[in-house]
Homo-oligomer: A and B are copies of this chain.
Amino acid sequence: MKIAILGGTGRIGEGLATRWATRHNIYIGSRDVEKAKNAACGYSCRLTDQGFECQIDGTSNKEAVEKADVAVLSVPFEAALDLIECLRPVLKNQILISLVVPMKKENGSFEYTPPEEGCAALRIQHLLPGVKVVSAYHNLSYRKLCKIDLDIDADVAICSDNEDAKQVVMDLTREIRNVRPLDGGPLKEARMIESLTPFLINMAKRNGLSDLGVKFV
């Protein structure tokens, strides 16, 4: 499968890229093509050093999406809206995985700030009616993802209004060691998962923890 990671030079982008690169063609997208190429090269080297074969290329966000079956949107909310506008001509019937969480920091803690549609995933689906938007991976630890031999031991709730797209993302999720995909329901339920992100960040800070994910037990 061909997977574009938009915002692929960021931390969670690196984590997902390195987890999937041994089985899929990964296109790291960035506004800055040089940065994307450098990141792709860095991830490849790291995997090759560990004895894995992989295919990771760096390119523009636009070219990454044009080539992809699945695109991962891993950028902040406002940037995501701008990026979607730029990519509209090439975003057709791909699966678009939203990791986007609208939130702001106030008085030292984070607060979820959903758009009027109810959550970022619904806003994105509204802007791109033909695209199969799936919500997933907001609460995976990039540090754990980046240690590619590590059993992550977390659950991912996956939401979409397109059942086929949801199944594709559930299958991709099973490829990440010891991460269990769960059907999170229609896209409107993504609000729950998005809003968990600031809550987890705040709770980690309050309790002297870090990199909190979720398991449903």
Tell me the A residues contacting B by CB distance below 8 Å.
Answer: 109, 153-154, 157, 182-185, 189, 192, 195-196, 199-200, 202-203, 206-207, 209, 212-217
Name A's interface SS.
mixed
How far, in angstroms, from A196 to B157 measured CA to CA in the complex? 12
Would you call A199 and B203 a contact (CB within 8 A)? no
Each complex incorporates copies of this chain amounting to 2
Knowing A192-B195, A192-B196 are in contact, say whether A217-B213 is a contact too (CB < 8 A).
Answer: yes
B-chain residues with CB within 8 Å of residue A203 when the two chains form the complex: 157, 182-185, 216
Q: Chain B residues near A213 (CB, 8 Å)?
A: 216-217
Within the assembled complex, what's the spacing in Å between the Cα atoms of A69 and B174?
48
Closest 7 CB pairs of A and B: A215-B215, A192-B199, A183-B206, A212-B216, A182-B207, A215-B217, A213-B217
Taking CB as reference atom, which chain B residue is nearest A212? B216
Judging by beta carbons under 8 Å apart, are B202 and A185 in contact? yes
B185 touches A217 (CB 8 A): no
